Structure 1
Amino acid sequence: MLILKLLLIPGFLLLISLAGKRWGPSVAGWLSGLPVVVGPILFFLAIEQGPAFAAQSAVAALSAMFAMIAFCVTYAQVAQRANWPLALVVSLSVWAVLALILSLIPASLPFSVAAAATALLAAPYLFPKVQPVVGGPAPKSDKLVWRMIAGAALTLVVTMLASTVGERWSGLLAVFPVLGSVMAVFSQQTRGPAFTAALLRATATGMYSFSAFCLVLALTVPGLGFGGFGVAVAVSVAMLGVTRQLLAKPAPAPSTN
């Protein structure tokens, strides 16, 4: 399992980086919506703590979509005016505050669905209206190596914490912006703030797939056990295909009323 944790996220970061280089930030961010972090974490929790524990963690993870999208929006906005250290600190602080608030609210699937739906529907209107320069210089190879190392390190820390803090915080920590923070920082360094904003906006679009995974898992694991993971993955991939149509749409213009 340790080897899987060390290889899965860096490998996915490599694929996303190559996708960003080939097709631009929209496709790269959209692909990051796959539950490549939360899926393995919840699977490991199901093995170690039981399917019921994993189902409750999935409910918490679904509500944490609100904090995750807030992270993406905050980083994208701050990055237009400041360098990456400030953007990262502010956006992670927003995530932490919202995660703490969510941890204090009694867990329920209806609340989690409402929180995730609110964030997903509001997200397109909250990102900065910028046009990324896709044709700029490609990221240097050393940057790619460092982002893969950072992704592996963050994944290890999050999975270690998630297995020791109970089902509620396990679910919340499973949605810690591992991919988002690594991609945002290195994208801002190598491609600039406009590219980063487009990447994070597409990430929010891809989060429909992420949310579908958590919802289906919470509903199916209590009855199907580990078979629920297969159902959740299938629905998540199908949802990713549906949201592909949203990438072609321009960012909503602010209202003039």
Structure 2
Amino acid sequence: MLLLKLLLVPTLIALITLAGRRWGPAVAGWLSGFPVVAGPLLLMVGLEQGPAFAAQAAQASLLGILANLSFSIGYSWGARRFPWYLCLGCGMLGFGVAGALLMAVPMALWTALAVTVAGLLVAPRAFPRSAPFVLPLAQPSPLELPARMAAGAVLSVAVTMSAQRLGPAFSGLFSVFPVMALVFGVFSHLTWGAAGAIRLLSGMVRGFYAFATFCLLVALAVPGAGLALGFLAALGGALLVQAASFKRA
């Protein structure tokens, strides 16, 4: 299990990084919105705690999408005037405040879905405007890709270890901890500048529709169908939604 945690997320980060270098930060953001971190984390939690725990955590993850978006919005507004480390503080403040508010108000699954979809529809208007086309400030360092992968591995292991001790609601929230937004936001800021970071983070909104589909289907399917079939159904649904959003990315 530890080996999976150490290898899966860094591998996905490497693939999305290469896609971003080929097609730009907006496409990298779209790919980053897919549940490449939360999906494996929810599965690991389910294997260790059982299907019912995983279903409850997935429902919390559905709402946690809005906390993840709050990180991206906070970072993006900070990027207009601050260096990356202060932007990181702005993003974490947004994630913490939004997460606390969302966890304080219990919601049924369909209410959580409605609130999340409404948030996704409004979110693009909450980001500051960026340049329509962004050029890199410099060629990426040879150390950038290993650094991204290492950061992703450390964060994914830390989030998983924390989630297991917090119960299903906060496990779900922590599974949506903005690992991808943090790693890609900071490195895009350094490579592409503020406009590139904003383009990437705002591009994640389109990918979150697949994320929401995944969480919804896990919450619905896993209790009756079990972990294997439930997660396969959720992955299939998320891939269909992700493919449908490709042209917009």
Separation (CA, whole Å) in 1 of partners of 2:139 and 2:20 = 9
Separation (CA, whole Å) in 1 of partners of 2:16 and 2:95 = 23
**Aligned-residue offset at 1:158:** 0.2
Alignment partner, residue 95 of structure 2: 95
Separation (CA, whole Å) in 2 of partners of 1:41 and 1:182 = 17
Separation (CA, whole Å) in 1 of partners of 2:41 and 2:127 = 29
The residue identity in structure 2 corresponding to 1:178 is: V
Separation (CA, whole Å) in 1 of partners of 2:178 and 2:94 = 11
Kept in 2: contact 1:21–1:138 (CA 8 A): no
Alignment partner, residue 176 of structure 1: 177
Question: SS of the residue aligned with 1:134?
Answer: coil
Number of aligned residues = 247
Separation (CA, whole Å) in 2 of partners of 1:173 and 1:157 = 10
The residue identity in structure 2 corresponding to 1:236 is: A
Alignment partner, residue 117 of structure 1: 117
Matching of residues 118-157 of structure 1 within 5 Å: 118-131=118-131, 132-134=133-135, 136-157=137-158
The TM-score normalised by the length of structure 2 is 0.96
Kept in 2: contact 1:33–1:240 (CA 8 A): no
**Aligned-residue offset at 1:239:** 0.6
Kept in 2: contact 1:63–1:111 (CA 8 A): no
The residue identity in structure 2 corresponding to 1:241 is: A
Segment of structure 1 superposing worse, 186-195 or 105-114: 105-114
Alignment partner, residue 17 of structure 1: 17
The residue identity in structure 1 corresponding to 2:208 is: M
Alignment partner, residue 188 of structure 2: 187
**Alpha carbon RMSD of aligned pairs, Å?**
1.2
**Aligned-residue offset at 1:111:** 2.6
Alignment partner, residue 209 of structure 2: 208
Alignment partner, residue 230 of structure 1: 232
**Aligned-residue offset at 1:28:** 0.7
Unaligned 5+ segments in structure 1 are: 248-257
**Aligned-residue offset at 1:121:** 0.2
Kept in 2: contact 1:42–1:174 (CA 8 A): yes
The residue identity in structure 1 corresponding to 2:187 is: F
Q: After superposition, give the CA deviation of every residue in 1:184-231 in whole Å (9 maximum; x if it has no partner).
A: 011101210101111111111111111110011111111111211000
Alignment partner, residue 164 of structure 1: 165
Separation (CA, whole Å) in 1 of partners of 2:25 and 2:187 = 12
Separation (CA, whole Å) in 2 of partners of 1:19 and 1:70 = 25
Separation (CA, whole Å) in 2 of partners of 1:192 and 1:25 = 11
In the alignment, does 2:243 pair up with 1:241?
Answer: yes
**Aligned-residue offset at 1:112:** 1.4
Question: SS of the residue aligned with 1:241?
Answer: helix
Separation (CA, whole Å) in 1 of partners of 2:74 and 2:206 = 15
In the alignment, does 2:55 pair up with 1:55?
Answer: yes
Kept in 1: contact 2:9–2:153 (CA 8 A): yes
The residue identity in structure 1 corresponding to 2:197 is: T
Percent identity, aligned pairs only, is 43
Alignment partner, residue 218 of structure 2: 217
**Aligned-residue offset at 1:79:** 0.6
Separation (CA, whole Å) in 1 of partners of 2:2 and 2:16 = 22
Kept in 1: contact 2:68–2:177 (CA 8 A): yes
Alignment partner, residue 104 of structure 1: 104
Segment of structure 1 superposing worse, 171-180 or 128-137: 128-137
Separation (CA, whole Å) in 1 of partners of 2:40 and 2:13 = 15
**Aligned-residue offset at 1:138:** 3.1
Q: After superposition, give the CA deviation of every residue in 1:74-127 in whole Å (9 maximum; x if it has no partner).
A: 111111111111110111111011111112111421231122112210111122
Structure 1 segments of 4 or more deviating over 4 A?
Answer: none
Separation (CA, whole Å) in 2 of partners of 1:203 and 1:22 = 17
Question: SS of the residue aligned with 1:64?
Answer: helix
**Aligned-residue offset at 1:135:** 5.2
